[in-house]
């Protein structure tokens, strides 16, 4: 349990002032190259490590950015975090993470913790239940940039990173219609969240654009979990006439729905075509493979953090109320392919 060595120790060792040591270690231009070298050698040799806390205390910033995420154990958010961590690590920033577990309450308390931790910037994907953005005001008021991604909300000064959910949903729904579906159900999440509200809009507009009727009965709202998918399936099975297509707002839910449907003796896509969302690994495992929409988590994380860093090191540019759209596309697999589907024997057996 040795003692930490400080710039004072190095200064004494080299007969220099602590100031010079500090400057050299921070690569200040006004330090002699040779002195700089001597100092960095000595520092390395003596096992010096900078004290973040003293430095932060002095500089009034933390080199830490905060992330509030609905849940950690989701393939999409894992990918996002992976992207964030990658960039941040290269830039020498630290990341602190907390999960809201989809509750407003927890999200508020997380925000408070982040604020008290004096993060230099905040990355947020909103919980299902979040009602307003009050809890982020302290950041805004102090000029601490906040960037929302995926589950976003409009706020002056905050940038949003998203995909075009409306368009994606429109594409998915249109695809179902082109496959011959005329009675389509949409399973989605809490409409407070843009992602679900926008997908519902895209769903509606697509029906409209193809001259199909829309009624509220065609929308099933839920938690988008495995259990929710099962429950939705049984609701769908009870509908009459039975729907011939389903557009689900995530793959987890779509997959469990398909499982339940198959168990009930239906065949996908012949009896019901299904489309999911996110392009999780699971979508390539379910049989039939799931048609879905890509949601570039890793890229979204990278972009979000880059935008945040840009604002932190603000070279003036503010980008207020701006939204950045990332590309996403429909990946067509068997679960929606009514036309090309060979009349498999499986359908008979079920």
Partner DNA sequence: TTGTATGCGTTATCAT
Partner DNA sequence: ATGATAACGCATACAA
Q: How far is the CB of 31 from DNA (least distance, A)?
A: 4
CB 30 to a second copy: min, Å: 25
Radius of gyration of the chain (CA): 26
Residues whose CB falls within 8 Å of the CB of residue 12, separated by 6 or more in sequence, listed in order? none
Q: Exactly one of 143, 180, 314, 320 binds a second copy (CB under 8 A); which one? A: 143
345 binds a second copy (CB under 8 A): yes
User: Rounded to whole angstroms, how far apart are CA atoms 110 and 9?
Assistant: 39
Residue from the set 20, 22, 98, 267 that interacts with a second copy by CB under 8 A: 98
118 binds a second copy (CB under 8 A): yes
Decide which of DNA, a second copy, none touches 23; Cβ closer than 5 to 8 Å per partner kind: DNA
The number of CA neighbours under 13 Å toward the Cβ of 138 is: 15
Q: Does 116 contact a second copy by CB under 8 A?
A: yes
Please, which residue, 145 or 202, has the CB nearer to a second copy? 145
DSSP per-residue letters across 157-221 = T-EEEEE-HHHHHHHHHHHHHHTT--SEEEEE--TTSHHHHHHHHHHHHHHHHTT----GGGEEE
Q: Provide the β-strand partners of residue 245.
A: 184, 273
Site string for a second copy, 304-323 (x = CB under 8 A): --------------------
Q: Minimum Å distance from CB 254 to a second copy? A: 11
Where on the chain is the footprint of DNA (CB under 7 A)? 4, 6-8, 15-20, 22-23, 25-26, 29-32, 35, 48, 50-51, 54-55, 57-60
**223 contributes a contact to a second copy by CB under 8 A:** no
CB of 62 to DNA, least distance (A): 12
CA distance 133 to 231: 32
At a CB cut-off of 8 Å and minimum separation 6, what does 73 contact? Answer: none
Q: Where are the beta strands (DSSP E) in the chain?
A: 64-69, 94-99, 121-124, 146-149, 159-163, 184-188, 219-221, 245-248, 273-275, 292-293, 323-326, 330-331
Q: Which is nearer to a second copy, 38 or 118 (CB)?
A: 118
Distance of CA 21 to the CA centre of its chain: 42
Question: Mask of contacts with a second copy, 252-291, x by CB under 8 A?
Answer: x--x---x---------------------xx--xxx----
Token pair listed for 87 = 């960039």
Site for a second copy in 151-190 (CB under 8 A): none
Which spans of this chain sit near a second copy (rule: CB under 8 A)?
A: 1-2, 49-54, 56-57, 62, 64, 71-75, 78-79, 81-82, 85-86, 89, 94-99, 110, 113, 115-118, 141-143, 226, 252, 255, 259, 281-282, 285-287, 298, 345-346, 349
């Amino acid at each position: 349990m040795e003692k930490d060595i400080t710039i004072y120790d190095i200064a004494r060792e080299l007969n220099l002032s602590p100031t010079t040591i500090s400057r050299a270690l921070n690569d200040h231009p006004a330090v002699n190259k040779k002195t700089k070298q001597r100092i960095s050698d000595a520092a390395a040799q003596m096992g010096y490590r900078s004290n973040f806390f003293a430095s932060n205390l002095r500089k009034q910033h933390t080199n830490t950015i905060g992330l509030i995420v609905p849940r950690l154990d989701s393939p999409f958010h894992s990918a996002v975090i992976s992207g964030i961590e990658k960039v941040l690590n290269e830039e020498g920033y630290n990341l602190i993470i907390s999960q809201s577990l989809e509750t407003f309450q927890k999200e508020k308390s997380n925000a408070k913790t982040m604020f008290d931790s004096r993060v230099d910037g905040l990355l947020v994907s909103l919980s299902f239940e979040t009602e307003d953005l009050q809890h982020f005001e302290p950041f805004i008021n102090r000029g601490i940039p906040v960037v929302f991604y995926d589950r976003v909300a409009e706020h002056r000064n905050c940038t949003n990173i998203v995909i075009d959910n409306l368009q994606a949903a429109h594409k998915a729904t249109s695809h179902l219609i082109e496959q011959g579906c005329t009675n389509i159900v949409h399973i989605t999440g809490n409409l407070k969240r843009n992602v679900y509200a926008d997908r519902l809009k895209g769903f509606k507009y697509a029906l409209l654009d193809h001259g199909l009727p829309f009624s509220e009965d065609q929308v099933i709202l839920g938690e988008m979990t495995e259990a929710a998918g099962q429950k939705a399936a049984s609701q769908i099975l009870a509908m009459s006439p039975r729907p011939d297509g389903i557009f689900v707002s995530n793959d987890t839910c779509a997959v469990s729905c398909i499982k339940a449907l198959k168990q009930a003796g239906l065949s996908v896509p012949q009896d019901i075509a299904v489309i999911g969302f996110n392009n999780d690994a699971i979508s390539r495992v379910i049989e039939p493979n799931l048609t879905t929409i890509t949601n570039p988590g890793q890229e979204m994380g990278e972009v979000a953090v880059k935008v945040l860093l840009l604002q932190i090191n603000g070279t003036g540019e503010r980008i207020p109320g701006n939204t950045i759209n990332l590309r996403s596309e429909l990946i067509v697999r068997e679960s929606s392919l009514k036309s090309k589907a060979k009349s498999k024997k499986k359908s008979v057996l079920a």
